[in-house]
């Protein structure tokens, strides 16, 4: 039984590895990671301020960046176009 479970897990990992090798998939992951990093930095700034208005503005900006990065990542993946990563990097 344990051997069967291990074999099924190995097959699942191979299937996941095979589907994530396209340049557009990597670009989508990079876009989302970059957006998440920028949002995390803004959220850290928001947490460090004692001004409620500044805090709220930074949190809203972080949310907008995450949403934009997710939309760009979806666009890169849906259009099978890794070049979108460069376009997004120039606008973030």
Spans of all domains in the chain? 22-91
pTM exceeds 0.75: no
Does the pLDDT of residue 70 top 70, yes or no? Answer: yes
Residue pair 44/3 in contact by the 8 Å Cβ criterion = no
Buried b (16+ CB within 10 A) or exposed e, 56-72: eebbebbeebbebbeeb
Mean pLDDT of 74-85: 71
Mean pLDDT of 63-78: 89
| Confidence band, pLDDT 50/70/90 cuts, at residue 83 | low
| Whole-number pLDDT of residue 86 | 58
Mean pLDDT of 21-34: 81
Euclidean distance between CA atoms 90 and 47, whole angstroms:
27
Q: What is the pLDDT of residues 49-61, one digit of tens each?
A: 999 999 999 999 9
Residue 30's φ and ψ, nearest 5 degrees, are -65, -40
Residue pair 77/26 in contact by the 8 Å Cβ criterion = no
């Amino acid at each position: 039984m344990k051997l069967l479970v291990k074999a099924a897990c190995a097959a699942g990992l191979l299937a996941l590895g095979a589907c994530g090798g396209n340049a557009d998939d990597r670009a989508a992951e990079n876009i989302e990671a970059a957006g998440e990093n920028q949002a995390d930095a803004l959220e850290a700034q928001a947490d460090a301020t004692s001004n409620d208005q500044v805090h709220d503005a930074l949190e809203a900006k972080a949310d907008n960046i995450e949403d934009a990065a997710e939309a760009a990542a979806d666009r890169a993946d849906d259009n099978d176009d890794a070049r979108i990563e460069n376009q997004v990097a120039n606008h973030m």
